[in-house]
Structure 1
Amino acid sequence: MMANPAPSAQADERRKSDVALKTFFRITDGWGLTSQQQKVLLGDPPRTTFYKWRNGEGPTLSRDTLERISYVLGIYKALRILFPTEEQANAWPKKANRDFDGVSALDVMLKGSMINLADVRRYLDYMRG
């Protein structure tokens, strides 16, 4: 008789979602983002879902939302490599950037498409060499 793996898989998805969201909110709080900006980066989930996630509750994350958070994590990691202090790394997303036609990386990310997150990530990877 084989055990049903579903509860374990559900627990893994729940744990993955919880860790991803906790990390996302820690990073974006450090960047000084508003709840509305955080919502956009997460793919504009319903308001109630967003606040449940913010409180460590709510549904597990979709693949799309996990991918968005993955880009944010990559951007954060690249900034921590490029800048000597966390303060400098956290300030960079809001600074005007000539490589983004004078707008900030945050402005690019807040256009809302996953490709915008990918563009900022790719730019930072390029800057890292």
Structure 2
Amino acid sequence: MQITAQTREPAEITAIALKAYARIVDIWSLTQKDAAALADMSESTWKRARKPGFAGDLTKDQLLRLSAVIGIFKSLELYFSEPLARTWFTRPNTGPLFSGARPIDTAIDGGLPQILAIRTYLDALRGGA
């Protein structure tokens, strides 16, 4: 039997998403404040959520944010070499979505719509569209 998102329990999906997100936060060297804001959590909730065995629930918006960030990470890793892929999200960017700001800052300020726009932008770069 193949295990898909439809056959997983919500707590298992949350645990997997948080584990992946925590790894990305570490790889990107995000501050606790930025990691929490990007996930739309308080810093205290983020500190609890990144520990194994977190029993809290995430909202649909929070899960979508984590999923989109994971997609951003994957696109960066596929499109750029490692040094740039690991710093792209936290470097000032003159691209059309960022106006000289860091992508993470626009993602935090713009919320889920901006996070999804960044993911679409990177997918388009990667796909040559």
TM-score (norm 2): 0.82
- Structure 1 or 2, whichever has the larger Rg, is 1
Equivalent in 109, 123, 126 of residue 124 of structure 2: 126
Equivalent in 77, 81, 88 of residue 84 of structure 2: 88
Task: Name structure 2 gaps, 5 residues minimum.
Answer: 1-6
Residue 61 of structure 1: how far off its partner (Å): 2.0
Paired with 2:43 and 2:22, the residues of 1 have a C-alpha distance of: 15
1:47-126 alignment runs, 5 A limit? 47-56=43-52, 57-85=54-82, 87-99=83-95, 100-126=98-124
Paired with 2:32 and 2:73, the residues of 1 have a C-alpha distance of: 18
Partner residue, 2:3: none
Query: Structure 1 36/58 Cα, relative in aligned 2: closer, same or farther at 3 Å?
Result: farther
Residue 78 of structure 1: how far off its partner (Å): 0.5
Residue 47 of structure 1: how far off its partner (Å): 4.1
Task: Name structure 1 gaps, 5 residues minimum.
Answer: 1-8
Q: Which runs of 4+ in 1 moved over 3 A?
A: none
The percentage of counterpart residues that share the same residue type is: 31
Residues 72, 117 of structure 1: 8 Å contact kept:
yes
Partner residue, 1:17: 14
Paired with 2:29 and 2:45, the residues of 1 have a C-alpha distance of: 21
Residues 93, 99 of structure 2: 8 Å contact kept:
yes
> How many residues align structurally?
118
